[in-house]
Structure 1
């Protein structure tokens, strides 16, 4: 199941991404993956939750979530709702991920929130989306080329 959760989302993203925005979307996805991995490791180290079927024994977080499901979800949301209020989209993303995604992972036997409540995740997911959206929509990107 971990392999499916890791590779299928990337295949779907490669097919349906906005080709002209690939670089910016990958920039957001990389940011999301790094933040997700970091926060996930903190949660596991604090015993707030555990993963019952880790993909690798050396990394305590759930790799398919951190490096595939989370960043690809955010990249698609940015692509589809780029001109919408990022706080609202982030909040919807937070609610959906916390109250639908996390319970599904628990039901599948992949995730065990020891003392973590699903609702605790909403502000984290919301903020991750918001920062990723703001990072991607930054006007600080410049054309690559020879400097004169």
Structure 2
């Protein structure tokens, strides 16, 4: 059952993003999403390494240093959608909403589904991390120094 839930969490956000994305900004959004995925997976691995949490996935939670749908799908896709939604809106307000939603809705949902197991971690500890993830991704999405390769 967890495997199918994980497949849904991995595929569904990308399907939604493909439908809702601003097509002329696809490259910029993917850059921000990839950046977000990279830092999320790094810190997720550190959290597992230091025994702050683990993931209850087969064959054993000892083999999983990060949850693939969380790091490669849910977090980056949510970030990309927020960046393109009301682009003139306050990135700080969006970062607050992103971190509150992630910490008080998504993490408890994963815990309830027995995917995520906080060991020495309280949900609210993640607030500054998710706030910073969003702001950094927002900054990356604004990079305007690319030159044509040809």
TM-score between the two structures when normalised by the length of structure 2:
0.90
Q: From the superposition, tell whether residues 106 and 38 of structure 1 become closer, same or farther in structure 2 (CA, over 3 Å).
A: same
TM-score between the two structures when normalised by the length of structure 1:
0.91
Q: Distance in 2 between matches of 1:72 and 1:20?
A: 17
- Confirm or deny that 1:78 pairs with 2:83: yes
Query: Residue 18 of structure 2: which of 14, 18, 24 is its match?
Result: 14
Query: Residue 114 of structure 1: which of 119, 123, 139 is its match?
Result: 119
Q: Distance in 2 between matches of 1:75 and 1:94?
A: 14
Q: In the alignment, what sits opposite 1:63? A: 68
Taking the TM superposition and a 5 Å limit, the aligned residue runs for 1:35-74 are: 35-53=39-57, 58-74=63-79
Query: Residue 24 of structure 1: which of 28, 34, 43 is its match?
Result: 28
Aligned residue for 1:112, secondary structure, equals strand
Q: CA deviation at 1:139?
A: 2.8
The answer to whether the Cα contact below 8 Å between 1:91 and 1:123 also exists between their aligned partners in 2 is no
Q: What do the CA deviations read for 1:14-65 (whole angstroms, capped 9, x no partner)?
A: 1111100000000001001100100000000011001012699754210000
The answer to whether the Cα contact below 8 Å between 2:32 and 2:137 also exists between their aligned partners in 1 is yes
* Count of equivalent residues: 145
Q: Distance in 2 between matches of 1:137 and 1:39?
A: 23
Taking the TM superposition and a 5 Å limit, the aligned residue runs for 1:135-146 are: 135-142=140-147, 144=148, 146=150
Q: Distance in 2 between matches of 1:41 and 1:103?
A: 19
Q: What do the CA deviations read for 1:47-94 (whole angstroms, capped 9, x no partner)?
A: 100101269975421000000000000000001032122122111110
The answer to whether the Cα contact below 8 Å between 1:18 and 1:79 also exists between their aligned partners in 2 is yes
Unaligned 5+ runs, structure 1: none
The answer to whether the Cα contact below 8 Å between 2:14 and 2:73 also exists between their aligned partners in 1 is yes
Aligned residue for 2:143, secondary structure, equals coil
